[in-house]
Chain A
Amino acid sequence: MNVSLFLTCVNDTLFPGTGKAVVHLLERLGHTIDFNPEQTCCGQMHYNTGYRDETVPLVRRFVELYEDAEAVVVPSASCAGMIHEYYPKIAETTGDSALEKSVSELLPRVFELSGFLVDKLKIEDVGAYFPHRVTYHPTCHSLRVLHVGDAPLKLLKNVRGLEFAELPNALECCGFGGTFAIKNSDTSAAMVGDKIHHIKQTGAEICVAADNSCLMHIGGAMSRQRSGIRTVHLAEVLASTEEKPGGKQ
């Protein structure tokens, strides 16, 4: 399949390793990848902070870039959630029925990475090797906006060498929440404090999630505590093989 990669601004700029991992992984599975450098951001940060008007051009841009795509893969559950949950609503408010139509036609072809692998390609074992004790934080938007279900867990459980450790209170938010982490930084810090407490309880070396923004928050707070626990995006675990081990920082 020819897969269009919508990488998102956070991954492109701060976590290029995640993008490379997606490319390696999907190529290994026999797909061709296309990355259009005209892409920027999904608009989630603006939308969630209340800057609705500023989101409209980004919805238009997304539709123009991917209208003809066979499949668009997004290695970020919250950005994919934004696209699925809010793009139709934003398109509706513009009163532009052509845009509305394009959005609704495009959405069934837009996938978060783990959903793309498990639900669309029907693969649960991607042939990965990752010899670490790992816990998984199901980010709020992957759970409650995008409803990825247990696709990431199915994938992780098939990774050779990986020792999986269940995260206590996994369903609770880590306290990132986009601009919430800055505007209400005290509360956000209290939330991530408890999240880290639970991660430590697992004895894991690495905390994995499908969203680098949440991991940036959790990992940043763990680094401040000198906890010795690292964060790694799901894609990087799945891309990792015995020949090409990943997960290094």
Chain B
Amino acid sequence: MKKENRSSLPTFEQSAGHYLADTQLRKNIGHATQTIRKKRDDVTGELPDWEELRESGRQIKQQVMNNLDDYLLELEESVTAAGGVVHWAADADEANQIVTQLIREKQETEVVKVKSMTTDEIRLNEALQNAGITALETDLAELIVQLAGDESSHILVPAIHKNRSEIRDLFKEKLNIEHLSDEPADLAEAARLYLRKNFLKAKIGISGGNFAVAETGTVAVVESEGNGRMCTTLPDTLITVLGIEKIIPKWCDLEVFMQLLPRSSTAERMNPYNTFWTGTTDGDSPQEFHLVLLDNGRTKVLADETGRQTLHCIRCSACLNICPVYERTGGHAYHSIYPGPIGAILTPQLRGLDDSSAASLPYASSLCGACYEVCPVKINIPEVLTHLRGNIVEHNKKNGGIRFKMDSTHVGMRLMARAFRSRKRYERLQKIGQTGQKLFEKDGMISKLPGELSKWTDFRDLKPIPKQTFREWWRDRS
């Protein structure tokens, strides 16, 4: 039996219209991304060796990907030697089980968390909830999203789609505050008081990590608020969940990434809080450190020569902020933890092409190339996008069944390909176009076309094909 595309989630093109129509969202996201773009240009422009730094970042990551197995073993060894425990998780379920088990052993039911994409990817919070454990997000934006029962819409600024007064109303309701203004300082103070209580009583902290140094076993979290540092230093036990691609070989490599990351992401010269820890230290909490190394499809990505560069990503979100598609739809239309250009290439690779929602993402791009231009580790996102589109077409040719064979894009592509291979057929197609269009022409313009082509004329007119093609003019002239 042929496999049909499966996913419970809608495709990008099904969702985009809904978000495009949300004028407040368009305004919030447009404003935020335009501002950060400008700032990013300024702080990257002031480094004379920015391009060399990008190239170094790319090369270090490439070296890691070419020898990932060796670096992983080296990391395990150095973390263990420093008093930490390394766990290996093949997929989301396994990772969630490991974390749940570790918390159960301590007989705790509440944990504090620092914002982590990786734990979002495996839906750790849900798994913990099912096991009767409450995970409190402590990153301010992530807390807002959690309180709202919403999903994050940006990898760095998860609440980018909300404005101040929306947040004020949320805090008043969920944190039981009677009077609250929508001044940033007041909002931050309200969150601070709420979080502080929880930090002080938490026995277990959960974090992600930005980098793990194979040579020393050091894990790094960079952030802006200090809440992450509270999560990683106050509790007795720290559990870090890390995708296996986050490795860098040596301590000195941090020099490169600690410049690339903050400038690309928050447009700062340095992150306000940079926390590094190596295993455990007697008398200085945490006394237990568990590192869960997650595969969850990453080795599959690694095996694809063109797709592999996706794993270089340091989750800076510069590509989201520059992307004209993301700017207009926001993150939710992607139905993925990783939205924007990086999501468009990472998600289908992690979830597989049978997932129709994920497989719609490589098409959610005009291939304008702005993402490639800003990526601090030079991931050629347009190249991976077209590569994945190629894989999707091949996949559909094999598994798509009759529905795909009848698909209008597919039919059109096949027809055109046939025509382009022969001058005679091509010229005949030009003639068919010239004659056929007469049905739709009105006042020298085509404003309504049938079928799939109506998606062009819904928004744009089309000038009819002129009576004489260039080749006819050329023939007559000579």
Interface pick from B190-198, B243-251, B281-289, B466-474: B466-474
Partner of A54, one of B363, B413, B430: B413
Q: Using C-beta atoms within 8 Å of the partner chain, give the interface range for chain A.
A: 35 or more
Interface string of A180-224 (1 = CB under 8 A from B): 111111111111100000000000000000000000110111011
Q: Is the CB of B416 within 8 A of A171?
A: no
Known A37-B423, A181-B456; judge A48-B389 contact (CB<8 A).
yes
* A50 contacts partner chain B, Cβ-Cβ < 8 Å: yes
Nearest opposing residue in chain A for B333, CB measure? A187
Q: Is the CB of A221 within 8 A of B459?
A: yes
Residue among B12, B461, B474 with max Cβ neighbours from chain A (10 Å) = B474
Q: Which B residues lie within 8 Å of A177 (CB)?
A: 365-368
Nearest opposing residue in chain B for A193, CB measure? B459
* A113 contacts partner chain B, Cβ-Cβ < 8 Å: no
* A172 contacts partner chain B, Cβ-Cβ < 8 Å: yes
Residue among A13, A20, A186 with max Cβ neighbours from chain B (10 Å) = A186
A182 to B388 Cα, complex, angstroms: 19
A7 to B471 Cα, complex, angstroms: 9
Known A40-B423, A50-B393, A187-B16; judge A13-B430 contact (CB<8 A).
yes
* A3 contacts partner chain B, Cβ-Cβ < 8 Å: no
Q: Is the CB of B423 within 8 A of A185?
A: no
Q: Is the CB of A172 within 8 A of B416?
A: no
* B85 contacts partner chain A, Cβ-Cβ < 8 Å: no
Q: Is the CB of B369 within 8 A of A50?
A: no
Q: Give how many A-B residue pairs fall within 8 Å (CB-CB).
A: 184
A184 to B19 Cα, complex, angstroms: 13
A171 to B393 Cα, complex, angstroms: 31
Known A14-B466, A140-B368; judge A40-B420 contact (CB<8 A).
yes
Q: Is the CB of A183 within 8 A of B460?
A: no
Q: Is the CB of B363 within 8 A of A184?
A: yes
A140 to B461 Cα, complex, angstroms: 22
* B98 contacts partner chain A, Cβ-Cβ < 8 Å: no
Known A144-B369, A180-B366; judge A220-B460 contact (CB<8 A).
yes
CB contact list, B159-198 vs A, under 8 A: none
* B401 contacts partner chain A, Cβ-Cβ < 8 Å: no
Q: Which A residues lie within 8 Å of B394 (CB)?
A: 50, 52
Known A189-B459, A217-B460; judge A223-B423 contact (CB<8 A).
no
* B386 contacts partner chain A, Cβ-Cβ < 8 Å: yes
Q: Which B residues lie within 8 Å of A40 (CB)?
A: 419-421, 423, 426
Known A13-B433, A184-B364, A186-B20; judge A192-B459 contact (CB<8 A).
yes
* A164 contacts partner chain B, Cβ-Cβ < 8 Å: no
Q: Which B residues lie within 8 Å of A50 (CB)?
A: 362, 386, 388-394
Q: How far is the CB of B413 from chain A (nearest CB, A)?
A: 5
A178 to B403 Cα, complex, angstroms: 23
* B453 contacts partner chain A, Cβ-Cβ < 8 Å: yes
* A240 contacts partner chain B, Cβ-Cβ < 8 Å: no
Q: Which B residues lie within 8 Å of A52 (CB)?
A: 390, 393-394
A219 to B459 Cα, complex, angstroms: 11
Q: Which A residues lie within 8 Å of B389 (CB)?
A: 48-50
Q: Which A residues lie within 8 Å of B409 (CB)?
A: 49, 179, 182-183
Interface string of B222-236 (1 = CB under 8 A from A): 000000000000000
Known A16-B470, A49-B413; judge A180-B365 contact (CB<8 A).
yes
* A246 contacts partner chain B, Cβ-Cβ < 8 Å: no
Q: Is the CB of A38 within 8 A of B423?
A: yes
A219 to B456 Cα, complex, angstroms: 12
Q: Is the CB of A172 within 8 A of B456?
A: no
A54 to B430 Cα, complex, angstroms: 19
Q: Which B residues lie within 8 Å of A43 (CB)?
A: 420
Q: Using C-beta atoms within 8 Å of the partner chain, give the interface range for chain B.
A: 35 or more
Partner of A48, one of B386, B433, B445: B386
Q: Which A residues lie within 8 Å of B388 (CB)?
A: 50
Q: Which A residues lie within 8 Å of B417 (CB)?
A: 46, 51, 54
Interface string of B121-146 (1 = CB under 8 A from A): 00000000000000000000000000
Q: Which B residues lie within 8 Å of A187 (CB)?
A: 16, 20, 325, 328-329, 364
A186 to B301 Cα, complex, angstroms: 31
* B338 contacts partner chain A, Cβ-Cβ < 8 Å: no
Q: Which A residues lie within 8 Å of B325 (CB)?
A: 184, 187, 191
* B475 contacts partner chain A, Cβ-Cβ < 8 Å: yes
Q: Which B residues lie within 8 Å of A46 (CB)?
A: 413, 416-417
Q: How far is the CB of B138 from chain A (nearest CB, A)?
A: 34
* B109 contacts partner chain A, Cβ-Cβ < 8 Å: no
* B17 contacts partner chain A, Cβ-Cβ < 8 Å: yes
* A4 contacts partner chain B, Cβ-Cβ < 8 Å: no
Q: Is the CB of A220 within 8 A of B461?
A: yes
A37 to B366 Cα, complex, angstroms: 31
* A106 contacts partner chain B, Cβ-Cβ < 8 Å: no
Q: Which A residues lie within 8 Å of B199 (CB)?
A: none
Q: Which B residues lie within 8 Å of A45 (CB)?
A: 413, 416
Interface string of B64-105 (1 = CB under 8 A from A): 000000000000000000000000000000000000000000
* A12 contacts partner chain B, Cβ-Cβ < 8 Å: yes
Nearest opposing residue in chain A for B21, CB measure? A186
Q: Which B residues lie within 8 Å of A16 (CB)?
A: 466, 468-470, 473
Q: How far is the CB of A12 from chain B (nearest CB, A)?
A: 5
Q: Is the CB of B12 within 8 A of A184?
A: yes
Q: Which A residues lie within 8 Å of B20 (CB)?
A: 186-187, 190
Q: How far is the CB of B395 from chain A (nearest CB, A)?
A: 10
Interface string of B361-395 (1 = CB under 8 A from A): 01111111110110000000000001011111110
* B324 contacts partner chain A, Cβ-Cβ < 8 Å: yes
**16 A-B contacts (beta carbon < 8 Å):** A13-B470, A40-B426, A41-B426, A48-B367, A51-B417, A58-B421, A144-B369, A172-B368, A173-B324, A173-B370, A177-B367, A184-B16, A187-B364, A192-B460, A216-B463, A221-B460
Which 3 interchain pairs have the tightest Cβ spacing?
A177-B366, A50-B389, A220-B460
Q: A57-B421, A58-B421, A182-B456 are in contact. List 8 more A-B contacts (CB 8 A).
A: A35-B470, A51-B390, A51-B393, A144-B373, A184-B325, A189-B460, A191-B325, A220-B456
By a beta-carbon cutoff of 8 Å, the part of chain B in contact with chain A is 12-13, 16-17, 20, 26, 324-325, 328-329, 362-370, 372-373, 386, 388-394, 409, 413-414, 416-417, 419-421, 423, 426, 430, 433, 445, 447, 452-453, 455-456, 458-463, 465-466, 468-471, 473-475
